[in-house]
Amino acid sequence: MAAKKKIIYTLEFPIRSSPTILFEFLSSAVGLQEWFAEKVDQRDNMFYFYWNGAVDTAERTECFENNYVRYRWDYYDEDEFFEFRIEQSVVTSETILRITDFAEKGDLDSSEQLWNQQVADLKHRIGA
């Protein structure tokens, strides 16, 4: 029996921040610890995220400074990832955070709610 195939989805959030500052919050252990997890450790391209006594491991698989960073949870399939991409609106010159992730169809709403909550924490930390 084949494993359930997850679906890819993307969320967009306007962030009042420069791409350089935002990128630090998305790509470094210190920045991620500010909003994403209780504690974050990094060894080379491996990141260890601590929540409520549990730890999840993600590998940073791609990174382009001030543009995007892509991670893959150790429990994700090889072709699955979560990605933070920073874009500038051509019209408003606003900074846009685009998050791409994978979820099972039945978990999509709760995954989106979790990202909304996480990004609210991020905006608070940045002061946006």
Total number of domains in the chain: 1
Question: Per-residue DSSP letters for 48-90?
Answer: EEEETTEEEEEEEEEEETTTEEEEEETTS-TT--EEEEEEE-T
Confirm whether 51 is domain-assigned. Answer: yes
For the chain, give the number of residues. 128
Span 6-32, pLDDT tens digits: 999 999 999 999 999 999 999 999 999
pLDDT at 90 over 90: no
The model carries a pTM of 0.92
Domain assignment of residue 69, given as a range: 7-126
- Rounded mean pLDDT of the chain? 94
Give me the percent of the chain exceeding a pLDDT of 70: 96
Confirm whether 1 is domain-assigned. Answer: no
Q: Which of 38, 28, 103 is nearest to 66 (CA)?
A: 28
**How high is the pLDDT of residue 125?**
94
Confirm whether 2 is domain-assigned. Answer: no
**Residue 75 pLDDT grade (very low, low, confident, very high; cuts 50, 70, 90):** very high
**How high is the pLDDT of residue 80?**
96
Confirm whether 100 is domain-assigned. Answer: yes
Span 35-52, pLDDT tens digits: 999 999 999 999 999 999
**How high is the pLDDT of residue 92?**
84
Residue 17 has what DSSP assignment?
A: S
**Residue 5 pLDDT grade (very low, low, confident, very high; cuts 50, 70, 90):** confident
**How high is the pLDDT of residue 3?**
58
CATH number of residue 38's parent domain: 3.30.530.20
